[in-house]
A and B are shown apart, each in its own frame.
Chain A
């Protein structure tokens, strides 16, 4: 879902 960004991307 869009509501959170992906912390594992640098």
Chain B
């Protein structure tokens, strides 16, 4: 563990809590892509299958449980409890166009072909693109609630910090995992224009609106 990875995990936790609180407090999931949340739940489910038979540390197990529980709780709030506020007209990204390539790619490029490893590789590739339905929805509505933009910023910052963690580990432990690094860079790049808008608008107190 290093400070960059710890900060990254904290950003990740903050993002998930902010989203849950936003939906719970406003009793609305307007502007939130349920499809992205489905993909995130799938990412954690496929990545943390080893939760039940591989103990790494208390921190590791606790965080995995929190990520799994909160992602399914978010799905419940979106698709059951506050279903009436789900904006399905704007949440139209075809997630099969993400799922199928990730399955194919995880069969082509993976560290090895054990079931757990294949699921892990699939979850890494899927996480890289899981935010696309959400970014697509924001581009369609042309705006996002400020709290939603904080959620997206924290979520983008988490993987950006993981990249710093991988650079740090490369130089201190000569450890590098090409699959995670390449997917993590792609994932962070997808947030690039969002980061720009967030920093130039939201941090200046303006609403998060895409240039018309």
Q: A9–B57 contact, CB under 8 A? A: no
15 pairs from A and B in contact (CB 8 Å cutoff): A2-B177, A2-B178, A3-B111, A4-B111, A4-B177, A5-B177, A5-B179, A6-B175, A6-B177, A7-B50, A7-B54, A7-B56, A9-B5, A9-B180, A10-B64
* Residues of chain B from 10 to 60 with CB closer than 8 A to chain A in the complex: 12, 50, 54, 56-57, 60
State A9–B169 Cα separation when bound (angstroms).
12
| CB-based contact B63/A10 at 8 Å | yes
Which A residues lie within 8 Å of B12 (CB)?
A: 10
- Give the secondary structure class of A's interface: loop
Please pick, from B54, B60, B111, B117, the residue contacting A10 in the complex, using a CB distance under 8 A: B60
- B151 close to chain A: CB less than 8 A: no
Q: Which of B56, B117, B178 contacts A8 (CB 8 A)?
A: B56
- B120 located at the interface, meaning its Cβ lies under 8 Å from any Cβ of chain A in the complex: yes
Q: 0/1 per residue, B92-111, Cβ < 8 Å to A?
A: 00000000000000000001
B180 — nearest CB in chain A belongs to which residue? A5
Q: Give the residues in chain B near A9, CB-CB below 8 Å.
A: 5, 162, 165, 180
In the complex, which residues of chain B have a beta carbon less than 8 angstroms from the beta carbon of A2?
Answer: 176-178
Which residue of A3, A6, A10 has the most chain B CB atoms within 10 A of its CB atom? A10
Query: Nearest residue in A to B173 (C-beta to C-beta)?
Result: A6
Q: How many whole Å from A1's CB to the nearest CB in chain B?
A: 8
Q: Which residues in A have their C-beta under 8 angstroms from that of B124?
A: 5
